[in-house]
Amino acid sequence: MSLIVMKFGGSSVGTPERMKRVAQRIVDRKREGHQCVVVVSAMGDTTDDLIDLSKQICDVAPPAREMDMLLTTGEQVSVALLSMAIHSLGESAMSYTGWQTGIYTEAVHSKARISRIEPHRVLAALESGNVVIVAGFQGMTEGGEITTLGRGGSDTTAVAVAAAIKADLCEIYTDVDGVYSTDPRIVKCARKLNEISYDEMLELANLGAAVLHPRAVECAKHNQVRLVVRSSFNNNEGTHVKEEAAMEQGIVVRGIAYDKNVARISLLGVPEKPGQLAKVFTALAKEQIDVDIIVQGGVQDLADFSFTVGSDDLEKAMAIIESIKPVIEYKQVTSQTGLLKVSIVGAGMVSNPGVAAKMFEAISDLGISINMVSTSEIKISCVIVNERLNEVIQALHTAYGLDTDSTAFVGGPQDRR
């Protein structure tokens, strides 16, 4: 007998028929002799529908606390229905909200992080022979306030619960067969990866690959949780996310990710004084705004610097920048939307020359200019104007030998990045 955490996303339980199919899959695992804890998202587009409903009620942004109260109802519906479906198949199940599960978070609404889990009720229910159904995406503060974990929160819930109960395996069920070299909707010959390292998956997730949320991967790596991404619509073997993944012969770049949710903010004419950048990014961090690529330049005693934020954070970030103008004394602030960040990721990049040159060449051959560049040991990101996404992804996929019928790219003498 093994202890398994199974997570199903909104599309997997989006209709009563799909809910019943998921219930049967869970019951089959239980009857194989496993103990099962199941984490579930809200059905289909429920969360989006609830957000739209709030907009019909409020002309201005509603209180964050009340939005969390509203949005957590979506998962509560899912866990109750799934529990009923399992009961109808002759097995016992218990459904729990985040706070009933013992998931405690920091005191932040809409983007809370899990601080600890006290899974006493979960373990007791398992010992009684139940399948345990846990609402993803939610928790509570030490003061008893309901919170949500933000985008991808159900993935994070599943991995964190798996770590807390020392599960043997955490399976993330989604609408694709696993992790692909890039988005198979764009590149038809994208290859499914049998395995990928935590570090590579974390980079891909941070860079826009939507199959797993970065916080879930980070939690899995920190707690050494065995993680598998697989389809909820078939029984195909998925992708194993693990500490070290076997390197495929000749493959330097493991995957290509993209993010269309990119905006750039530029501060021009900033006095060259120590601590200026710290003031800007401290102000943004206090409002939970993530900053990505940062580029600085300038002449004489004035500096110009640009950075990227998520498009949905642009308006809020610009308001913060305007509010600190008396402190920073910059000359001008500008913003740009309609940008795309495209990234290549691979653990083999650090020891193979020519990888960056190949990326820049593939993009420039399409007549596209690169606005910003960011690198690490295992990734390179370029920010470009978001007009020809499909062409760029296909060109890079081919250039690095990732097409299923291609010869692998093995580097060149140009550079070491």
pLDDT in tens, 88-126: 999 999 999 999 999 999 999 998 999 999 999 999 999
Q: What is the pLDDT of residue 353?
A: 79
pLDDT in tens, 264-291: 999 999 998 888 889 999 999 999 899 9
pLDDT at 188 over 70: yes
Q: What is the pLDDT of residue 246?
A: 65
**Per CATH, domain 261-336 is 3.40.50.720:** no
pTM of the model: 0.83
CA 415 to chain centre: 30
Kindly indicate the confidence band of residue 405, based on its pLDDT and cuts at 50, 70 and 90.
Answer: low
3-175: CATH topology is Carbamate kinase (3.40.1160)
| Domain-wise residue ranges, the chain | 3-175, 261-336
Q: What is the pLDDT of residue 186?
A: 92
Q: Which of 157-166, 192-201, 301-310 has the highest mean pLDDT?
A: 157-166
Q: What is the pLDDT of residue 27?
A: 98
Q: What is the pLDDT of residue 248?
A: 59
Q: What is the pLDDT of residue 250?
A: 59
pLDDT in tens, 352-376: 778 999 999 999 999 999 999 999 8
Number of neighbouring beta carbons within 10 Å of residue 153: 29
Kindly indicate the confidence band of residue 414, based on its pLDDT and cuts at 50, 70 and 90.
Answer: very low
pLDDT at 249 over 70: no
Q: What is the pLDDT of residue 408?
A: 41
pLDDT at 417 over 60: no
Identity of the amino acid at 35: Q
Q: Which 3-state string (H, E, C) describes the chain?
A: CCEEEEEECCCCCCCHHHHHHHHHHHHHHHHCCCEEEEEECCCCCHHHHHHHHHHHHCCCCCCHHHHHHHHHHHHHHHHHHHHHHHHHCCCCEEEECHHHHCEEECCCCCCCCEEEECCHHHHHHHHCCCEEEEECCEEECCCCCEEECCCCHHHHHHHHHHHHCCCCEEEEEECCCCCECCCCCCCCCCCECCEEEHHHHHHHHHCCCCCCCHHHHHHHHHHCCCEEEEECCCCCCCEEEECCCCCCCCCCCCEEEEEEEEEEEEEEEEECCCCHHHHHHHHHHHCCCCCCCEEEEEECCEEEEEEEEEHHHHHHHHHHHHHCHHHHCCCEEEEEEEEEEEEEECHHHHHCCCHHHHHHHHHHCCCCCCCEEEEECCEEEEEEECCCHHHHHHHHHHHCCCCCCCCCCCCCCCCCC
Q: What is the arithmetic mean of pLDDT over 167-181?
A: 92
pLDDT in tens, 24-83: 999 999 999 999 999 999 999 999 999 999 999 998 889 999 999 999 999 999 999 999
